[in-house]
Amino acid sequence: MNDQALIDKANESLKDKVLAITNPAPRRIFLKVAVENLLEAVNWLKKDLGFTHLSTISGVDLGQSFEILYHFANNYCSFTIRTEIPRDNPQLPSICELIPGAILYERELQDMFGITIQNIPDPRPLLLPDDWPVGNYPLRKDWKYERPPEVIPGGKK
């Protein structure tokens, strides 16, 4: 298995669904697909190429849109599928059907970026507290942290 063979296989199987495929460093492949084809690409990667291990899901705020990266790994290399979703309607399909271990990363995405994951088995918040104000998503670039005024109960005024 080498990088070029993987890229050829991707072009061959997914054909025009491949929006871009890059290989910036040895053993690192980045494949870009549209969000409608995400599940198909993940399924192809898992079934045909045997990438069963999902390392993590990263989200990046690009300003106008969110970029979501699914980092897969097998015993040869790290294969990343990326997709972009618009910022004003952040919807993403859940991949938990295919990769059950993705649940925690998807919940983290929901908390941190306010992305709605469709068909997620467990939509509760994971990281943020239950009294966290609605509409605050810490990892969005326009979110700024403000320390709330500290009140000591029964303390000095």
Partner 1 sequence: MRFQIPIGPQHPALKEPIGLRITVEGEIIRDADIRLGYNHRGIEKLAEQKTWIQNIYLTERICGICSHSHTTCYVQGVEKLMELQPPKRGLYIRTLVAELERVHSHLLWLGVAGHEAGFDSFFMYTWRDREIVMDILERISGNRVHYGINTIGGVRRDLDELQVKYILDSLEILRKRSEYYKNLGTTEPSFVARLAGVGYLSKEDAIALCAVGPTLRASGVPMDVRKDDPYAVYDEVPFEVCTADTCDVLGRAVVRIKELFQSYNIIEYLLKNLPAGEIAVKAPRRAKPNEVVSRYEAPRGENIHYIKSNGTDKPERLKVRAPTLANYAATIKMLKNGFIADVPLIFAAIDPCICCAERAVAIVDARTGQEKVVPMNILKQISQKISANKERKREAEWPL
Binding site for partner 1 (CB under 8 A): 24-25, 27-28, 30, 52-56, 58-61, 69, 71, 73-78, 80, 99-105, 125-131, 138-139, 143, 145, 153
Please state the closest distance from residue 30 (CB atom) to partner 1, in A: 8
> Least distance (Å) from partner 1 to the CB of residue 33?
17
Is the CB of 44 or the CB of 79 nearer to partner 1? 79
CA gyration radius for the chain? Answer: 19
Least distance from partner 1 to the Cβ atom of residue 15, Å: 25
Number of other residues whose CB lies within 10 A of the CB of residue 144 = 6
Evaluate whether 53 touches 80 at the Cβ level (below 8 Å). no
Half-sphere exposure of 37 (CA within 13 A, CB side): 17
Strand, helix or coil at 94? coil
